[in-house]
């Protein structure tokens, strides 16, 4: 991510936007501290798309319906009374 001082970003706004579209997010700093990030509209839309519920995520998994053979280890972790 390229970093820009606010003054430079204001003076070269078209370039900042083109770089956000072609190269990814652009970091803007104010008085040496991070202040904002310029994103392309595509990146913004991807961040704001609705997220499926956890249940829906599991149902859409490529492993949905696969039977797992799980065995629990029944050995004691320590001997009682010692």
Q: Report pLDDT digits (tens) over 14-45.
A: 999 999 999 999 999 999 999 999 999 999 99
CA distance 66 to 82: 43
> Above 90 in pLDDT, residue 13?
yes
Contact of 38 with 17, CB cutoff 8 Å: yes
36 vs 79, which has greater pLDDT?
Answer: 36
> Above 80 in pLDDT, residue 80?
no
Task: Identify the bridge partners of residue 39 per DSSP, sorted by sequence position.
Answer: none
Rounded to two decimals, the pTM is: 0.63
**pLDDT score for 30:** 96
Mean pLDDT of 42-71: 89
């Amino acid at each position: 991510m390229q970093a820009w001082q606010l003054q430079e970003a204001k003076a070269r706004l078209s370039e900042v936007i083109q770089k956000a579209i072609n190269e990814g997010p652009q970091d803007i700093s104010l008085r040496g501290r991070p202040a904002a990030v310029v994103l392309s509209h595509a990146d913004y839309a991807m961040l704001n798309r609705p997220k499926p519920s956890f249940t829906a995520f599991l149902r859409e998994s490529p492993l949905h319906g696969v039977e797992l053979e799980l065995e629990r280890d029944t050995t004691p972790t320590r001997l009682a009374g010692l």
